[in-house]
Structure 1
Amino acid sequence: MFPIRDTNKSNTFPIVNWIIIIINASIFLVQIRLPRETVAIIFETFGVVPYRFTELHLLAPISLFSSQFLHGGWLHIIRNLWILYIFGDNVEDRMGHLQYLVFYLMTGIIGGILQVITQPFSTIPMIGASGAISGVLGAYILFFPRARVLTFVPIFILPWLVEIPAVIFLGVWFLSQFVSVINEASAVISSGVAYWAHLGGFGAGFLLARRIRKMKSSYFSDYN
């Protein structure tokens, strides 16, 4: 399944979401012009390499932030930024600009931490905004469970466009990540996909969004 659009309209312009998209796209466009050897060094330096945390490398924590702005290829970045474009504007609209920025970065960091905890001796750099974007999805399913998502569903050789409730679309996505984690645990060769970062980001996004909603409800209740 692949999302085409959702049915929610934002009341405010999602300036932070667009800035994040533009920064990621700009870095990638610079990155693809560099020699492969240079890109490999960048990934190794600024990507999350779990064993560095195990070895208490001084600069390892910085990579939890920097890795969110690196991507491994066209498919990787297009998929991530398209999903962020569809779902991020509504979450920013609900949270507010500054709170959304902090939320986005925090869920990406938490997703990275969970990946490090589950694969502490891995030497493979983890890159991409997937952890943070998963956090956005976790917030979306809490804030807008009844929204509908126009979804591309390939059935046999025929492409189908179907409107699916967000709670079902994102629930299926979460389940697919969970199944992938189980399959990864029994696989001889790793797929290289940071599924734990996806699950960690999604869970953190859901819990943080619930906390934010409670804080806003309490504020308006006290104000009134």
Structure 2
Amino acid sequence: MFIPLHDRNGLKHIKAQYVTITLIVLNVLVWLVTGPLVGEQAAMRAATGLGFIPAVVFDYAMLEPSLVLVPPDATFLTYAFLHTDWLHLASNMLFLWVFGDNVEDAMGHVRFLLFYLACAAAGALTHGLVMPTSAGPLIGASGAVSGVVAAYVLLHPKVRVWVLVFFRLPLPLPAWIPLILWIGQQFFMLVIDTEGGVSWGAHVGGILAGSLLVLVLRRKGVPLFDRAIVTPNAVIPAPAAVSERGPWGDRTG
């Protein structure tokens, strides 16, 4: 539906989004060592051993011992650092890059990291509740990133964000318009697409967790529904030409 490109929502409480950057770097590194830098067989083993498999976690099935890389309960988190391909990785990391810095700013570094991991776990849990006997591994940061998106729209709904609509048309829109549409799409698809390749349940779980956790994890004094409207650099008009008063009237230079 849309791709976020840029917002101009300055940091107010932190110097830099260290946790957001670290998460992006870690996701890229994990993708490299479990994907392009290893063979297909090793990549599948990583997805099986580190991905979240509801049937295994909920004791409907057992994983072959040679495939076990971490305890099943740990996969509530490890799955969120794996991705199927570069496009899957890039889409999640783009959302995290555009929206994560301001959520980190609103919470602080440590609480934002806890928030991110909690949203990832909530995404896995919701996926498992929707498909408890599924033997396929869930991978991807979508659950955690969905929580970040939900927190952002509650914190800064009026901030203007450049988005690429339908992959073609760049528009600066108040954040609540594309993000509420995106959130609504996740709930809608959860209802109608129960057998697809995307875990809409993980997205919804992350959204619900993010919406609740931002209420308690944001800094004291950080408001919800920030009224400030900030415009991206690209749509700020150029300064007006300086006017000088001359003997024959105004003169622009």
* TM-score, normalized by the shorter chain, greater than 0.5: yes
Distance 1:153 1:143 in 2: 23
Give the aligned residue type for 2:45: I
Q: State yes or no: 1:204 paired with 2:205.
A: no
Distance 1:216 1:5 in 2: 27
Q: State yes or no: 1:161 paired with 2:170.
A: yes
Q: 3-state DSSP class of the match of 2:120?
A: helix
Q: 3-state DSSP class of the match of 2:56?
A: helix
Q: Residue deviations 1:85-135, cap 9 Å, x none?
A: 000000001100111011100110011111101100001100011101111
Distance 2:100 2:217 in 1: 16
| 1:222 alignment partner in structure 2 | none
1:87 to 96, 99, 102: 99
What CA RMSD, in Å, does the superposition of the two structures yield over aligned residues?
1.8
Larger helix proportion of the pair:
1
Per-residue deviation, 1:39: 0.8
Tell me if structure 2 keeps the 8 A contact 1:142–1:210: no
Give the aligned residue type for 2:210: G
Q: State yes or no: 1:24 paired with 2:27.
A: yes
Tell me if structure 1 keeps the 8 A contact 2:4–2:95: yes
| 1:9 alignment partner in structure 2 | 10
Q: State yes or no: 1:70 paired with 2:82.
A: yes
Q: Residue deviations 1:125-161, cap 9 Å, x none?
A: 0001110111111110111111111111138xxx321
Aligned residues: 210
Provide the identity percentage. 34
Distance 1:174 1:182 in 2: 13
Within a 5 Å distance, the mapping from 1:28-67 to structure 2 comes to: 28-31=31-34, 32-55=36-59, 59-67=71-79
Q: 3-state DSSP class of the match of 2:29?
A: helix
| 1:137 alignment partner in structure 2 | 149
Which portions of structure 1, spanning 4 or more consecutive aligned residues, are displaced by more than 6 angstroms?
none
Distance 1:212 1:20 in 2: 19
* Uncovered stretches (5+) of structure 1, i.e. residues with no partner: 219-224
Tell me if structure 1 keeps the 8 A contact 2:55–2:135: yes
Distance 1:212 1:18 in 2: 20
TM-score after normalising by structure 2: 0.79
1:216 to 216, 220, 243: 220
* Uncovered stretches (5+) of structure 2, i.e. residues with no partner: 63-69, 223-253
Per-residue deviation, 1:7: 2.4
Distance 1:162 1:35 in 2: 41
The structure number with the bigger radius of gyration is 2
Tell me if structure 1 keeps the 8 A contact 2:157–2:175: yes
Distance 1:199 1:19 in 2: 25
Tell me if structure 1 keeps the 8 A contact 2:111–2:217: no
Per-residue deviation, 1:212: 2.4
Per-residue deviation, 1:217: 4.2
Distance 2:187 2:117 in 1: 22
